[in-house]
Amino acid sequence: MPFTEKLAEHFMIDHPEFIIDVQGGGSTAGIQACMNNTVNIGMSSRQLKEAEMVLNEIVICYDGVIIVAHPQNPIKDLSLKQVRDIFNGKIKNWKDLGWVNRRIDAVSREEGSGTRGSFEELVMGSEDIDDGIMVQDSNGSVKEVIATDPYAIGYISLGLVDSNVKAISVDGIEPNLKNIKNKKYKVIRPFIFLSKERLQEDSKTFVDYVLSNDGQKILIKEGLISIYD
């Protein structure tokens, strides 16, 4: 989560006595590290599974998982079922969606990714992502593939959407800040801080900063939705 590094940088400027080491690896890795007590604070962008519910959760902001295609793709809207059928392999050609006779190059995140976990929960439901779909290990990599492939489609965090990709409406609802805030756009996930035990004073100081107006302003600048909206 690049925005966590931004939060840590700003926090350490105001609190030079603290050193915060932000590690990557995906939501499952963050949850497991928290379960194993190898980190002070874990991070996740997916909901916890039943076996993980022993952890304490602190929601720090919200994010939209946005379906994106190449800017030259003329399709503006897909139903949730159509998106599901693209990623489960039932729809393989753009002609089935009213465009050209060309294979759909669907791009997904890797297993263990919080973005993928949220997509599976909110879009796929009980159906699996097709094993033949291209997999990338970051939202940035997914975006890069889609920006260079006119026939690609994938999903990324709201904060990464720019003119290099085209955001696709789902069930007629545009994935913009207004529709995410009022919950009309349904593919929404929380970003969560996690702890196994009660937070130590140092960790609590950082969490309090993230939940403060200053911390929330940083998250808003990163294209995320404040918990206070």
The residue among 218, 168, 204 whose CA lies nearest residue 66 is: 168
Name the token pair of 214: 């200053």
CA–CA distance, 174 with 152 (Å, rounded to integer): 19
pLDDT tens digits for range 1-47: 679 999 999 999 999 999 999 988 888 999 999 999 999 999 998 88
pTM of the predicted model over 0.85: yes
pLDDT tens digits for range 148-188: 999 999 999 998 999 999 999 999 999 999 999 999 999 99
Contacts of 158 (CB under 8 A, 6+ apart): 63, 64, 65, 66, 175, 177, 180, 223, 224, 225
Specify the 3-state DSSP secondary structure of 10: helix
pLDDT for res 173: 98
Bridge partners of 103, per DSSP, are 93
Domains of the chain in start order, with CATH, are 2-61+189-226 (3.40.190.10), 63-181 (3.40.190.10)
pLDDT for res 69: 99
Please provide the average confidence, as pLDDT, over all residues in the chain: 95
**Is the distance from CB of 190 to CB of 225 less than 8 angstroms?**
no
